[in-house]
Each structure stands twice: as structure tokens, then as C-alpha cells.
Amino acid sequence: MDKIRLGIIGVGNMGAGHLKYVADGLCPRIEVTAVSDIVPEKLKRASEIYPSVKCFEDTDAMLDSGLIDAALIAVPHYDHPTYAIKCFERGIHVMTEKPAGVYTRQVREMNDAAKKAGVTFAIMFNQRSNPIFAKAREIVQSGQLGELKRLVWIITNWYRTQSYYDSGSWRATWNGEGGGVLLNQAPHNLDLWQWIFGMPRRIRAFCAYGKYHNVAIEDDVTIYGEYENGAVATFITTTGEAPGTNRLEISGDRGKIVLENGTLKWTKLKVPEREFCFTSESGFACPETEYEEFTAEEPDGHPILLNNFADAILDGAPLIAPGYEGLNSLSISNAAYLSSWTDGWADIPVSEELFEKHLNELRMNEKKTH
């Protein structure tokens, strides 16, 4: 087999976009043989993009058709684990869009099903393909920053208008999306946070619901995370600021890196800060530094991850974003929500029972008002 036969579950904006990557020849080891969607107009558009594709209104029928080896899941968030598990039960490889799901219990169940099936399982964390973030991970994970101290990420360039939130009935709702900026825009950033800096042990978060838009979900968030070694992280995001900022700063005992505007700025300490602090005889002295920059254009990561998915299936290549790791960023956002709802600290792993209790209350109240 020199190509994988891919089925796309959901051909809305994201699914149709992935279909077009293949149609345009950007994924030479992938052939889209089938798509499914409950909206006939979306299937018609898919057949116009990719005339040879077989269209299904019933996803189960597509999964049982024998036409596909792998599936790409691009449906609303709650259904990501549902369809992934259906695929795993049939031995079908899976690439799921982000986030992995809405609550961690369903994602753990999805991960368990993937392990049982023994198939290739990936998630579309396409920003991992950005050389700037890959370089930051290399510097941090190799210990070149020394003992980690602090991460600060201001990611406020996710600006959205009210028209965006009004564009679909499932948007900006607890029943449709399961959350706001943390589940729709920021999963990539939450993933990169933990991919580069590691998982915090507990979270204190402040979420503002409908602060800048007529919505029930959060559109402004500040998260504070604590680590076992005493390191801390601050993550600030919103869809209500313009112009926005995207600046990531990571400090350690041996220096600091700053990522902004496609450039990684690396300031290295010639003497570790902890050593310098207790050996310097001057109260106002600072360690001497060296400076290095790393610059790269951000690629379109979607076809990169699709090609990596095909290579993993066909050749056993390592995945850039294994599907199992979707649990990590979701654990951070679940903890942030729970902290906000209870006005206190939330540990990681999060209390799944308590989280789901609060989420289901929000969903039920939302149904009563619609």
C-alpha cells in the first residue's frame, strides 16, 4: 500500500479545508475515498472539491463501507471521542481535530480504546510543526535553560467579532462547543505550553463569561499554574482585544527565551543565576550574558501533520502529535474551568466527577433558556 484511503467525518470549514489540501496535491500519500456529513449541502460542496469522493449522510455506513483505512474527525467537540471510538472498534486509524474532547473522562476512554485497537492515533496540533516552537522545546527539554522558573504567555490575538459567534447555533454554547476560547481557539497554545514546559500540578484560573460578547461561554481568561519544582506559569488569552499580542517568555536558571513575531530570542547566562546570586559580592550585579536568535517562517502545519499521519501508518514514522497527548491540554483547560467555577485551586488530574457536575448544570440551564 503506497497511499492511505482517508474518510473525513464532517466536511464543514475544517473538514473541507483538509479535503482541499489533498485535492490540491499537498498530501501525495493520501487519497480521500469517502466523506460523511449530516448536511447534504456540505456533501455537495465536498464532491465539487474532490469529484471522485463517495459521500455518506450516515457516518456508520461510511465506517462499515470498506472504503477507508483511516478517518479524520472534524465535527463539534463533544463528538470527537464518540467517532474516534467507533473507528477504533473497526480497526480504523484516526486523526482527530482539536480539542481531544470536552471533558477528560471521555478522552481517557478514547485513549484506552485506541490502545486496545493498536492503530495509529494522531491529533491535529499543527502548531507543533512550527520550527520556532520546536526550537523552544529543544532548548527547554534538553536542560539548556537549567532549572525552569517561569512561563508567561500572552496570547490575545484570537480576536473575534459578535458576527463570528452568531455564525452557527453550536458556537459559543456549553451544549455545542463545551466552552469558549479555551476549547476553540487556545487548545493549540495549551498544548504547546505543556509540550514545551511540562504539565503543572495545580491551576488557579479566572474566566470571564460573556465579558466582550453576547455569549454564555468564556471570552477572557487568566490562568496561573504551579509546578512540583516551584516553577510557575501564567497564561492570558481572550477573543476581545485588538490589536492582540502573541508573546511567550520562558525563564530558567541559565537564561531566558522569548518567542514573538516569528523570532526566538535566547539570552544565555554565563553563570547560572542561583550560583551567581550567592557568590557575587555586589548587591546590584547581574550575570554576564550571551545572545542568540532563531528565525523561521511559520509553515501551514495542517498538510504537514496529514503527511506525518500517512507516514506513520505506511512506514511507522513517529507522530508529531500523538492523539493520546490531547488529554494533557484538555486537563489544563478542565482544571481552569473548575477553578473558575469553584473559585479555588484545581488539581491536575482534575476531579472528573466535580467537573462534569458543573458542566452539566451549565448545559441544562442553557437548554432552559433556549
In a 3-state reduction of DSSP, which class is residue 78?
coil
pLDDT over 90 percentage in the chain: 97
What is the residue extent of each domain of the chain? 4-127+301-322, 130-298+329-369
CA–CA separation, 322 and 145 (whole Å): 26
Residue recorded with cell 508573546: 247
CB-side neighbour CA atoms (13 Å) of 253: 13
Between CA 119 and CA 108, with CA 323 as vertex, the angle to 5 degrees is: 95
The answer to whether residue 78 scores a pLDDT higher than 80 is yes
16-42 pLDDT per residue, tens: 999 999 999 999 999 999 999 999 999
47-58 pLDDT per residue, tens: 999 999 999 999
Tell me the three cell numbers of residue 103: 471533558
84, 94 contact by CB (below 8 A): yes
Q: Specify the DSSP element, H or E, that contains 234.
A: strand 232-238
CA–CA separation, 276 and 288 (whole Å): 10
CA–CA separation, 10 and 57 (whole Å): 10
Rounded to a whole number, what is the distance in angstroms from the first to the last CA of the chain?
50
If we measure between CA atoms, which residue out of 69, 159, 166, 187 comes closest to residue 119? 69
In a 3-state reduction of DSSP, which class is residue 151?
strand
CA–CA separation, 274 and 252 (whole Å): 10
pLDDT over 70 percentage in the chain: 100
Query: Which fold does the domain 130-298+329-369 belong to in CATH?
Result: Dihydrodipicolinate Reductase; domain 2 (3.30.360)
Tell me the three cell numbers of residue 140: 527547554
CB-side neighbour CA atoms (13 Å) of 263: 7
The answer to whether residue 117 scores a pLDDT higher than 70 is yes
Indicate the pLDDT class of residue 170, thresholds 50, 70 and 90.
Answer: confident
**What pLDDT is recorded for position 370?**
57
Query: Which fold does the domain 4-127+301-322 belong to in CATH?
Result: Rossmann fold (3.40.50)
Q: Is the pTM of this model over 0.85?
A: yes
The answer to whether residue 182 scores a pLDDT higher than 60 is yes
Indicate the pLDDT class of residue 168, thresholds 50, 70 and 90.
Answer: confident
The answer to whether residue 341 scores a pLDDT higher than 80 is yes
**What pLDDT is recorded for position 367?**
83
